[in-house]
A and B are shown apart, each in its own frame.
Chain A
Amino acid sequence: MASTLNAPLGSRGGHFFFLFVVVVQALLLSSQVTTERGDAALRGFIVALLSPFQRGADAIVSGARSTWNGYVDLRGVREDNQRLREEVARLEQAVWLERDLVASYRRLSGVLELAERLPYEPIVAEVIGLDASAWFRTITVNQGKNRGVVLNAPVVAAGGLVGRVISLGPDVAQIQLLTDRDCSVGALLTRTRNRGIVAGSGEQSSPSGLLLNYVSNLDDVVEGDPIVTSGIDGIYHKGIAIGHVASVRNGPRLFKTITVEPAAKLSRLEEVFILPAVGDIEITEQVE
């Protein structure tokens, strides 16, 4: 006992012993004291003393845990993201296929309807090529001489007039579109019966690529007026829809400047009907 009490000052044992004695007395004190809430005072003291450290440690642990969970989740999310991207790509592909099927159905329905309405026996041809120029003014189809296609035969599509055959091969034909600047079609405004000539204009003067020329400034023309072939050019049968008036204004001289919106969607042709040439029909009718 004496040696313990005479422990050197530098010894840590003395400090620990002091702390031990104080803590024991604190415990003793706590066992006798209850707070207003009924808790042991020492518990409250210890809680108050250690809670900041506890909160700090908890924050560190929860932060680390959150980071780890975030990392794990991120890995899962990345895999999910990859899988979902592939799924989206697959579904997009399927949707596009469905849309293409619907569009094909509608287009072919229109073609079938037109074929039933035509008074002639048309040759159905599929577009297999376009003009290499920026504006498609000629197209190539997969029917030619072998199927009876002749030069200057009118070509129509689901909407209306497309153009005429300008070149022939055994199994192909090249068709000049209405929008070609060398193409001219005798036209008739169905509402007023005024005549004119529809010609390809080139992209500068008409966005649609078609102009209706030689209609007097005095004639009554309004936007939306339907235009059909007049039949006076000797190439196109009478009454085939060409399009409608897109814009109209009086020209500087005698004639109006009229732009025409084609009835057939010339930039999206897939199937066309090649009609018998006007002269062929007349000959056939005479023979019959």
Chain B
Amino acid sequence: MKFLDIALAILVAFFVQTVLGRYFGFLNVYLDLFTVIAVTFGLLRGRMVGLCTGTAVGLLQDAFSGGLLGFNGISKTTVGYLAGIGGHHLIVRGWSRRLLFFVGATLLDMAILASVGRLAEEPRVLGEGLTPLYLCVGNAIAGILLLGRVDRNRSSETL
């Protein structure tokens, strides 16, 4: 039951990014729900959960993106793991802090993707112009919403 919400979140993200994304192309441009999920569960449930969730969503994303397997895996694993560590050390309450946290996580994810792409001699196009910024904002909004939702569920379970 504890990981059911994670699995459910991953399924929703998969559906949004792969199914809806085919019809609403902007979703894949302004939103990376896999990153949001890895960060959210890492932040709320610790680094190991973040790590496992990041690995799962990363590999899933790679598997269905037609790219190299492990590309997003490494970035999401790292982001999820570090989000778990950050959630332990930082007090991430209030929408502004959470927004900053998700923006930072998204930037870190892009930086890792760029680095891995460079090492693999396959430079990854992260987007042109303000696209990375839109992605950060979209992830932050989605993350705040998801975080609030999961946080509420956890509170109700605790009660």
Give me the interface of A with B, judged by CB distance under 8 Å.
Answer: 2, 4-7, 9, 14, 17-18, 21-22, 25-30, 32-33, 35-36, 41, 44-45
A5 CA to B50 CA, complexed, in Å: 9
Give me the interface of B with A, judged by CB distance under 8 Å.
Answer: 2, 45-49, 51-52, 55, 58-59, 68-71, 73-74, 77-78, 81, 85, 88, 116, 119-122
Please name all residues of chain B whose beta carbon is closer than 8 Å to the beta carbon of A36 when the two chains form the complex.
121
Q: Which 9 A-B pairs have the closest CB atoms?
A: A29-B70, A25-B70, A28-B70, A25-B73, A5-B48, A41-B120, A33-B120, A45-B119, A18-B81
Q: Which single residue of chain B is at the shortest CB-CB distance from A48?
A: B119
Please name all residues of chain A whose beta carbon is closer than 8 Å to the beta carbon of B119 when the two chains form the complex.
41, 44-45
Q: Is the interface of B mostly helix, strand, loop or mixed?
A: helix
- Whether B77 pairs with A18 at a CB distance below 8 angstroms is yes
A6 CA to B45 CA, complexed, in Å: 8
Q: Which single residue of chain A is at the shortest CB-CB distance from B2?
A: A2
User: Would you give the shortest CB distance from B12 to chain A, in whole angstroms?
Assistant: 21
Contact A7:B70 (CB < 8 A) given known A21-B55, A33-B120: no
Q: Which single residue of chain A is at the shortest CB-CB distance from B74?
A: A25
Give 18 pairs: A residue, B residue, CB < 8 Å, sorted on A.
A2-B2, A5-B45, A6-B48, A7-B46, A9-B47, A9-B85, A14-B48, A17-B48, A18-B47, A18-B77, A25-B59, A25-B74, A26-B74, A29-B69, A29-B71, A33-B68, A33-B121, A33-B122
Most B C-beta atoms less than 10 A away, residue of A22, A27, A45: A22
Please name all residues of chain B whose beta carbon is closer than 8 Å to the beta carbon of A35 when the two chains form the complex.
121
User: Would you give the shortest CB distance from A4 to chain B, in whole angstroms?
Assistant: 6
Please name all residues of chain B whose beta carbon is closer than 8 Å to the beta carbon of A25 when the two chains form the complex.
55, 58-59, 70, 73-74, 77
- Whether A21 pairs with B48 at a CB distance below 8 angstroms is no
User: Would you give the shortest CB distance from B45 to chain A, in whole angstroms?
Assistant: 8
